[in-house]
Amino acid sequence: MAEPSPATKTIDPITDRERNYTLFVLVLVFTSSHVDRQIMGILGQPIKEALAISDTQLGLLTGIMFAVFYATLGMPMAMWADRRNRRNLIAFSVFAWSFMTALCGAANTFTQLLLARIGVGVGEAGSNPPSHSMIADLYPPENRATAMAIFGTGVNWGILLGFLIGGWINEWYGWRVAFVVVGMPGLLLAALVRFTVKEPVRGQSEQLKEALPPPPFWSVVRFMASNPILRNVVAACTLIAFAGYASVIWIPIYLIRIHGMGTGETGTYLALLIGVGGAMGIYAGGRLSDHLASARGLHWPAWVAAIVSVASIPFLYVAFFANTPNAALLAYVVPAALGTVYLASGFSIIQNQTPMEMRSVAAAINLFILNIIGLGIGPFSVGFFSDLFEPSYGVDSLRYALLSTLVAVVLGSWFYYRTGIHLRRGSQVAQR
């Protein structure tokens, strides 16, 4: 009897245990990346004082130089991920960024620390796009916002661990030891990924029998540029990330510098607010998005992201201009809980709107734009404007620099609203 053709072969269903374990490990990976990335927020003021650098230089360390390498190298690594084994690429990336984070503790000058942070960015470039692609193969479209929300909690757990561990280790042993302590566990995580995670079959969740060959990079760019849903959602994610990354990096510095809090105390409060509160917020946002998408239409995940982002604006304003640390922290409760809800909506919409054979590259393009502008320019702009406003406002210049980021939240929310409009129109056309 003749062998069945590729078009008639069936794909063995993945077990719930295997699906959940893979997602769990990918959450650990995402958590590790954000521990190593966001620890600069809680260690920023001690590093500024130890190395005698300006806020603009601190913005370079936390933002643009890291982001340029992280985002740019994400492109070729995503193309590799659409053609080769994604699990192995993730394992290698975790090892690389963890080693370079530990190496940050040996830096004695601004240049040495900058080069080490660039190395962290190079390592992290190979993690997110293949993770998004694997999750899309594990979960069908109607469950992806929840799965992406669970994955997205890695941001919050990473901030929790980075701020909590980094803050107290700095007070007890100094910022150099803090880098080593948070970097070394990633070496074990890399082995866990490589030897316990199974690479899912491409198209698994849609039960596709035959995978199309990955298209050239510029074909993916043209596809995304021609799709109004993808154009708007990328713009929305980028603008909200601009304000979000700036806030996460500079809020701890603001609390330490202006309100006189210690790094341990600051790290503990922000770990609870952003880590625990933010994780609960993004998970609830993902569940709500999936529920509304099923009950009322696929455009609702975008509108959920728009609504919660707008809702955080007045609370951020109060937090930036509070007269006491308690008032600032109390006002920051809502933005901390809602700050990453937009990620689940954005990531799931991009995967849902993109053909299977280009998902890693589509995710990388989104992350490239998001990270160059959001992670790169967001924190850098706050440092730049803080130095610019300092002659007029003194230490309060940081308040006004943070205030300027709220414009990006307004614009990002509007683009999420537009994304929902296009999704609703597409659903209406499909139903005719």
pLDDT for the residue 309 = 93
> Which positions ≥6 away from 408 have C-beta within 8 Å?
239, 240, 242, 243, 378
> What is the dihedral sign for C-alpha 126, 246, 419, 343?
positive
- Domain ranges for the chain, please list them: 16-199+219-431
Question: Where do we find the tokens 């070729």?
Answer: 76
Angle at 219 between CA 118 and CA 91, to 5 degrees: 40
> What is the second-level CATH architecture of the domain 16-199+219-431?
Up-down Bundle (1.20)
pLDDT for the residue 205 = 55
Exposure of 291 by Cβ count < 10 A (0-12 exposed, 13-18 middle, 19+ buried)?
middle
Instruction: Tell me the DSSP string of 194-211.
Output: HHHPPPPPTTTTTT-SSP
The proportion of the chain whose per-residue pLDDT surpasses 70, expressed as a percent, equals 93
User: Can you say how many angstroms the Cα of residue 143 is from the centroid of all Cα atoms in its chain?
Assistant: 20
Q: Which residue, 77, 75, 58, is CA-closest to 385?
A: 58
pLDDT for the residue 31 = 92
Token duo for residue 353: 């709107």
Residue pair 278/259 in contact (Cβ under 8 Å)? The answer is: no
Q: What's the full length of the chain, in residues? A: 432
Angle at 65 between CA 29 and CA 105, to 5 degrees: 65
Instruction: Tell me the DSSP string of 66-88.
Output: HHHHHHHHHHHHHHHHTTS-HHH
Angle at 311 between CA 310 and CA 313, to 5 degrees: 70
pLDDT tens column, 128-184:
778 887 888 888 777 777 887 788 888 888 888 888 888 899 889 998 999 999 999
Token duo for residue 355: 């053909």
Q: Which residue, 122, 125, 60, 119, is CA-closest to 90?
A: 125
pLDDT tens column, 76-108:
777 777 777 888 899 999 999 999 999 999 889
Task: Provide the phi-psi class of 59: left if phi over 0, else alpha when psi is between -120 and 50, else beta.
Answer: alpha
> Which positions ≥6 away from 390 have C-beta within 8 Å?
397
pLDDT for the residue 6 = 43
For the chain, list residues with pLDDT below 50. 1-9, 209, 429-432
